[in-house]
Structure 1
Amino acid sequence: MVSRSRLKSILVGIALYAIASAAIAYFGMNAYTGRYGLTAQQELDQEIIALTSELVRLRAERAEGEKRVALLRSDRLDPDMLDERVRYQLDFAHPADLVRMNPTR
């Protein structure tokens, strides 16, 4: 009987160590590959860099657009800008003008 209780205590100890090591392995793998793990953090950093560069580009594009709109305001109307916009909207061109089609606009 003494040997059975000793064997049982050894097996219980081994089982506890196995369960603890399995839990540590699970949380360790999750910390590395999980949703908020190290690899996900690297991917998020790359996405932040890409989105930051896109934000800079969009801010520059918006500033350019605001500058062009400011030239069309009634208090300081630029005649050249007005002429350009009217010709663009109405598809008119002066016979002496050189017309260059821009497909991006």
Structure 2
Amino acid sequence: MVYFAYHTVEGDRGIRAWLRLQDEILNAEMQLAKVSSERREMEHRVLLLRPDHLDQDMLEERARIMLNMSKDGDIVVFDRHH
């Protein structure tokens, strides 16, 4: 009986393994939500750059980034995360 009780808790398919698996599932779901959100944001930005939906502000922003330029009076904030 001790053998079965031990493997019910500690075995490959025991309670502890089930709890670890539930934790891994939760972490994977949170990662999926984060990546899905990032993808939606990127798809939106790509849509704004398409010729039939060209957003002038987005175009100017990309041009400034690519040319490393700004207008007089612009405030530049450096982001160390990118």
Give the match for residue 59 of structure 1: 36
Q: TM-score, normalised by structure 2?
A: 0.86
**Larger relative contact order, structure 1 or 2 (CA cutoff 8 Å, min sep 6):** 2
Count of residues in correspondence between the two structures: 82
Counterpart amino acid of residue 72 in structure 1:
L
Q: Report % sequence identity.
A: 37
1:71 is aligned, of 19, 41, 48, to 48
Q: Which has the higher helix share?
A: 1
Give the match for residue 77 of structure 2: 100
Q: Once the two structures are superposed, what CA deviation does each residue of 1:48-97 show, in whole Å capped at 9, x if it has no partner? A: 11221221121111101111111001111111101101111221111221
Give the match for residue 8 of structure 2: 31
- Structure 2 distance, partners of 1:49, 1:103, is 30
- Structure 2 distance, partners of 1:36, 1:91, is 57
- Structure 1 distance, partners of 2:54, 2:73, is 24
2:66 is aligned, of 75, 86, 89, to 89
Counterpart amino acid of residue 30 in structure 2:
S
What is the aligned-residue RMSD (CA, Å)?
1.5
- Structure 2 distance, partners of 1:90, 1:79, is 16
- Confirm or deny that 1:80 pairs with 2:57: yes
User: Does the residue aligned with 1:71 lie in a helix, a strand or coil?
Assistant: helix
- Structure 2 alignment gaps of length 5 or more: none
